[in-house]
């Protein structure tokens, strides 16, 4: 049985809205770097198209790899017009070593073609339109809303899903359920911040395999930590 499963059984009280807000603040105090998407979205020549393509590249890929691949790609193909006419072998070479680079190369060219043909080169800003693009799911669409258009939404990736369940903000099985529950527990004014804070926190403190509970500012509120203490299992790592 995994520690996460054990945690839910041992101590399953979910956090109140007030506690959830406090926890968000503590996570904000803990993080020391911006995510790749924040960096891409705040660059001087950033566009919604670049945010969309970087988000697609980022799936199952570490942030530094995503950022470097995005920079190489956008140097030659900065918009849907140029990317829609590219050969996939060229794009594969530019974005390597992002995971599934050959599949992603074909997908981002397809997306560029659709944006060029159906949207006149303007990346859609509505959830239902984004979801119609090949390879774009709820997480990617929500990232575009948040990072490109400043539209309140909560993108839920593996970090957001894991951390929310460990702490006891939610008790869910899928990222979609987590998105629903987080949208309920957090007022809309916090939505723009949730993904950025949780992802950065998950990369540096509440890591997937070995969470750094010893140094974590959230531990006083964390179900996972409380259950480790209760059962006598020491926190995993400082």
Residues forming the site for ligand SF4 (CB under 6 A): 166-167, 205-206, 211-213, 216, 218-219, 222, 224-225
Task: Kindly tell me which of 101 and 225 has the beta carbon lying closer to ligand SF4.
Answer: 225
Shortest spacing between CB 207 and ligand SF4, in angstroms: 8
Shortest spacing between CB 22 and ligand SF4, in angstroms: 13
> DSSP of the chain, one letter per residue?
--HHHHHHHH--PPPPHHHHHHHHHHHHHH--S--HHHHHHHSTT--HHHHHHHHHHHTTS-HHHHHHHHHHHHHH--SHHHHHT--HHHHHHHHTTSTTHHHHHHHHHHHHHHHHHHSTT----SHHHHHTSTT--HHHHHHIIIIIH--------HHHHHHHHHHTS---SSHHHHHHHHHHHS-GGGHHHHHHHHHHHHHHTS-SSS--GGG-TTGGG-HHHHHHHHTTPPPS--
Shortest spacing between CB 216 and ligand SF4, in angstroms: 3
Task: Kindly tell me which of 145 and 216 has the beta carbon lying closer to ligand SF4.
Answer: 216
Shortest spacing between CB 214 and ligand SF4, in angstroms: 8
Task: Kindly tell me which of 113 and 212 has the beta carbon lying closer to ligand SF4.
Answer: 212
Shortest spacing between CB 237 and ligand SF4, in angstroms: 9
What's the chain's Rg over C-alpha atoms? 19
């Amino acid at each position: 049985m995994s520690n996460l499963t054990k945690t839910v059984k041992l101590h399953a009280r979910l956090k109140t809205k007030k506690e959830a807000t406090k926890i968000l603040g503590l996570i904000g105090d803990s993080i020391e770097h911006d995510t790749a998407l924040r960096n891409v979205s705040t660059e001087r020549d950033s566009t919604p198209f670049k945010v969309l393509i970087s988000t697609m590249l980022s799936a199952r890929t570490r942030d530094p790899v995503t950022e470097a691949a995005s920079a190489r790609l956008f140097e030659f193909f900065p918009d849907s017009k140029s990317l829609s006419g590219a050969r996939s072998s060229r794009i594969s070479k530019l974005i390597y070593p992002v995971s599934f680079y050959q599949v992603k190369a074909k997908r981002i060219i397809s997306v560029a073609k659709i944006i060029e043909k159906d949207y006149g080169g303007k990346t859609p800003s509505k959830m239902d339109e984004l979801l119609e693009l090949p390879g774009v799911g709820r997480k990617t669409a929500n990232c575009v809303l948040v990072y490109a258009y400043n539209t309140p939404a909560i993108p839920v990736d593996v970090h957001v899903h894991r951390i929310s369940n460990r702490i006891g903000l939610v008790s869910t099985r899928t990222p979609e359920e987590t998105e629903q529950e987080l949208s309920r527990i957090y007022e809309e004014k916090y939505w723009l911040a949730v993904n950025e804070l949780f992802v950065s926190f998950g990369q540096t403190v509440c890591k997937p395999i070995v969470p750094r509970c010893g140094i974590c500012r959230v531990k006083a509120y964390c179900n996972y930590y409380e259950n480790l203490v209760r059962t006598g299992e020491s926190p995993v790592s400082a």
